[in-house]
Amino acid sequence: MTEAYGVLVESARGHQRTLESKPRIRVGTAICGQAAGALEVLEALRREVARRGLDATVSEVGCLGLCYAEPLVDVQFPGESRMFYERVTPDKLPPLVEAHLVSTSIPMATLGAPGFPGIPDLYDLPMMLNQVRIALRNAGHIDPTDLYEYIAVGGYLALDKALSAMTPEAVLGEVTTSGLKGRGGAAFSTGTKWGFLKGSQAPEKYILCNAEEGDPGAFNDKGILESDPHTLIEGMILAGYATGATYGYVFIRHGHEGPIERTQRALEQAYEAGLLGRNILGSDFSFDAEVSLVGESYVSGEETALMEAIEGKRAMPRYRPPFPAAVGVWGKPSNINNIKTLAYVPQIVSNGGEWFAGIGVEGSAGTAILCLSGNILRPGMVEVPMGLSLRTVVEEMGGGDADRQGEVFADGRAPGWGAERRETGHGAGLQGDGRGRGHSGVGRDYRRRRGGMRGGHDAAAGGLLPVRVVWQVFPLPPRDHSSAGGPGADVPFRERAVRSGADA
């Protein structure tokens, strides 16, 4: 660990102890939350806390992915579980702020010990069950404008490791070993793409991060930027180190104010902390970055049109060759990656390429971030391992066609489906080869591979849509739930291999 990073870690630990020493209320204020009225809830909450004279921290966080439950508010007292409340409105806030909350309000889920009788754990909700959160590991859990909170959960540890103990070639090697492919649509090997740029001997090279995301119904790039922008910045710096680039652009569509403002704030904080600029963390490596905006032009998402837009020209694709790795933005060698692609890199460097390659299926390593919208019971954003069927995502995690559902329980389950499922016997257990039939089999095998079943979950599993197909279940790292009050109490769930706190 470099001395400069050690100082940041100590500051982050002190900051985290302060946060954990008094009640904390988190409000999801990503785009989905704002659309549901989260900003009005946030202001009303601050007024209520002030009116009562409470010494509590009110924090904005990003998108947990449960967009159907927005506005989503969670409350945590020192040493106690986080209590999540769905569809909160300003008129519900006075009873919600009462001591220990549960006397007048029942949460949809909890996170961390000791839990609450009869209330499911957050990661046992139908929409969270099959998730493996890597790029979204911090989304909805930390304040995206708080650098120290990011560092407290292992942020910039990969950058420190790379600059203090790895050569650029070693970093590139881990990314290549991981099997990471571009998440912008082309699925081209990230390691190979970086290798093209590294092979250029030009003194000035660029890393471009594409968050134009003009596709209807797509919000995963924006979700990362407004929920955990530092993970993108760290990935971008690591890309620069591995390829010899010295400047980065985060390309965001004009009008996406949340992602723009939070990314700009994160860049400012990174500069203030010595994580951007000259001699990062006391090393010989220097890297600068900025946000570049573009008008509402879908074609700007094409990599060469993106470069034209950065240069202030009309966003039109260029003829190729020459390719960007030879002649890119400003005529200099450049590498363009999607936001999601770069968001994986810190965890790949921290945990090793083989760890990432072990998630997913052969030829498609890692996870996919999917957006569920339209006429579906549970709209939202999920991160699932490659190889999981779309039927599982849409029908089990998303709840299927909303028109076929009746009243919805607080945890997102549809009444009636559980009873029907148990009567018909769909998904009644595991097959002899370990594969699951329907959700019950898949869910049980998945949880067994991830560290065991949690008691009392069968009712929630039974409340999902019956599915008559069989799909393969792939082994994943064991799951872990942090205990409230101890190290990482506010750290979001992640696979054990992903957990890499600042004191690791």
Are 446 and 436 a contacting pair, CB within 8 Å?
Answer: yes
Question: pLDDT class for 298, splitting at 50, 70, 90?
Answer: low
Instruction: Mark out the alpha helices in 53-109 (DSSP H runs).
Output: 93-96
160-192 burial, b at 16+ Cβ within 10 Å, e below that, comes to bbbbeebebeebbebbbbbbbbbbbeeeebbbe
Say what the pLDDT of residue 52 is: 82
- Condensed to tens digits (0 to 9), the pLDDT of residues 40-50 reads 999 999 988 88
242 and 280 together in one domain: yes
Question: What contacts 266, CB < 8 A, 6 or more positions away?
Answer: 144, 145, 147, 229, 230, 233
Domains in the chain, number? 2
Q: What is the DSSP letter of 392?
A: I
pTM of the model: 0.78
Say what the pLDDT of residue 405 is: 57
167 and 98 together in one domain: no
Instruction: Mark out the alpha helices in 228-378 (DSSP H runs).
Output: 229-243, 257-272, 303-310, 339-351, 353-357
- Following CA atoms 434, 439, 444, 450 in sequence, which dihedral angle do they give, to the nearest 10 degrees? 90
Check pLDDT > 90 for residue 167: yes
Mean pLDDT over 331-344 rounds to 92
Say what the pLDDT of residue 327 is: 85
Are 477 and 327 a contacting pair, CB within 8 Å?
Answer: no
Q: What is the DSSP letter of 376?
A: B
326 in a domain, yes or no?
yes
Check pLDDT > 90 for residue 339: yes
Q: Which residues pair with residue 371 across a beta bridge?
A: 381
Q: Strand, helix or coil at 383?
A: strand
Residue that finishes a domain, picked among 326, 351, 376: 351
Query: How does strand 367-372 pair with strand 380-385?
Result: antiparallel
Say what the pLDDT of residue 114 is: 78
261-275, 395-409, 429-443 — which is least confidently predicted? 429-443
Say what the pLDDT of residue 296 is: 64
* Distance from C-alpha of 299 to C-alpha of 117, rounded to nearest angstrom: 52
Mean pLDDT over 16-29 rounds to 93
79 and 204 together in one domain: no
Highest mean pLDDT of the ranges 78-87, 231-240, 459-468: 231-240
CATH number at residue 93: 3.40.30.10
Domain that holds residue 65: 3-124
Mean pLDDT over 304-330 rounds to 81
330 in a domain, yes or no?
yes
Say what the pLDDT of residue 370 is: 94
C-alpha to C-alpha distances, 178 to 85, 360, 419, 423, nearest whole angstrom: 38, 11, 43, 44
Return the percentage of the chain with pLDDT > 70, whole number.
77
Check pLDDT > 60 for residue 58: yes
Count of C-beta atoms within a 10 Å radius of residue 46: 15
Check pLDDT > 80 for residue 438: no
Say what the pLDDT of residue 322 is: 85
361 in a domain, yes or no?
no
Question: What contacts 257, CB < 8 A, 6 or more positions away?
Answer: none
286 in a domain, yes or no?
yes
Mean pLDDT over 314-322 rounds to 81
CATH number at residue 275: 3.40.50.11540
